[in-house]
Amino acid sequence: MIESLDGSVALVTGGARRVGAAIARRLHAAGASVLVHYRDSDADANALVAQLNGTRAKSAASVKAELLAPIAPRALVSAALDTFGRLDILVNNASSFFPVAIGAVEASHWEELVGSNLRAPLFICQEAAPHLAKSEGCILNIVDIHAERPLKGYPVYSIAKGGLAAMTRSLALELAPKVRVNGVSPGAIAWPEDGQFDPAERERIVATTPLARIGSPEDIAQAVHFLACATYVTGQIIAVDGGRSVFL
Angstrom distance (rounded) from CA 35 to CA 76: 9
CB-based contacts of 163-167 (< 8 A; 24+ apart in sequence): 163/114, 163/117, 163/118, 164/92, 164/117, 164/118, 164/121, 165/237, 167/118, 167/121, 167/122, 167/125, 167/141
The answer to whether the bond into 177 is cis (omega within 30° of 0) is yes
Annotation says 154 is catalytic:
no
Q: How many Cβ atoms sit within 10 Å of the Cβ of residue 173?
A: 10
From CA 204, how far away is CA 206, in angstroms rounded? 5
Asked whether the beta carbons of 193 and 227 are under 8 A apart, the reply is: no
Active site residues: 157
